[in-house]
Amino acid sequence: MTRGLWQSGLADWYGPGTRVVRRVRGYRPNRRGEVTLARWLRVGLLRGLSCVAACAALVPATDRSVGAVDRSLICALALAWASFLWRCSLIRVVLRPGAIVRYRVWRHVVVPCSDVKELHRDAWRGGLVLETRAGEKIDFLWFDNSLWDALYDFSAVCADAMRSHAGSASVNGRAGMPAGLQRRFTWSVGADSLAAGAAVCLGLALLAAVRG
């Protein structure tokens, strides 16, 4: 398939042919020409739980019946959990012009389309794997075999989308990115802010313990 995901594959069966499913699978690029593939139900659930954990940190902070050290430690623990849950919601695949980017909890890897050799199923685990021309393998186990697939075959959509994107980038001459994988730490305003809050609370706990 040499056309983009938003122009191809619409005749394939990825779930019931309802208007909702057609709209969900009819991906469109954003202003930067990127398409994001994510399990939005999981994203919403995890970020909701993260907000609950962050709000829970406010309860001991206002409870004067608890010691300063305990208050700070409880707040730090709650904010640390909130940060971790928010980071788990960052798991996604982004199809950039000329590249495929897989995001995990802490790091992401950028795969130039020119380096993509094939996408196949791992013989041992059965998960979706992207293999580069240099022989490196990037797994997409987080995107396979979930309850979401019962209604909308996201695993197949993810695989078809990456194949289509790699093919269209090569045909359109947009695969001229620097060769080789790029692994980077994933920065997040939400997760990093919560982590900073947890660090501050932990510091306050240590300070209160020293003074006490």
Tell me the whole-structure pTM to 2 decimals.
0.78
Domain membership of residue 82 (yes or no) is no
pLDDT of residue 7: 46
Domain membership of residue 57 (yes or no) is no
Query: What percentage of the chain has pLDDT greater than the value 70?
Result: 71
**DSSP strand pairing (99-103 vs 35-37):** unpaired
Domain membership of residue 43 (yes or no) is no
Instruction: Name the pLDDT band for 158 (thresholds 50, 70, 90).
Output: confident
- Is the confidence at residue 25, as pLDDT, over 70? no
Instruction: Name the pLDDT band for 195 (thresholds 50, 70, 90).
Output: very high
- Is the confidence at residue 9, as pLDDT, over 50? no
Domain membership of residue 202 (yes or no) is no
Number of domain units in the chain: 1
Domain membership of residue 63 (yes or no) is no
Instruction: Name the pLDDT band for 30 (thresholds 50, 70, 90).
Output: confident
Q: Domain of residue 15: give its range.
A: 1-31+93-186
pLDDT, tens only, 161-188 = 788 888 776 555 555 566 678 899 999 9
Domain membership of residue 60 (yes or no) is no
Domain membership of residue 157 (yes or no) is yes
pLDDT of residue 4: 44
Domain membership of residue 124 (yes or no) is yes
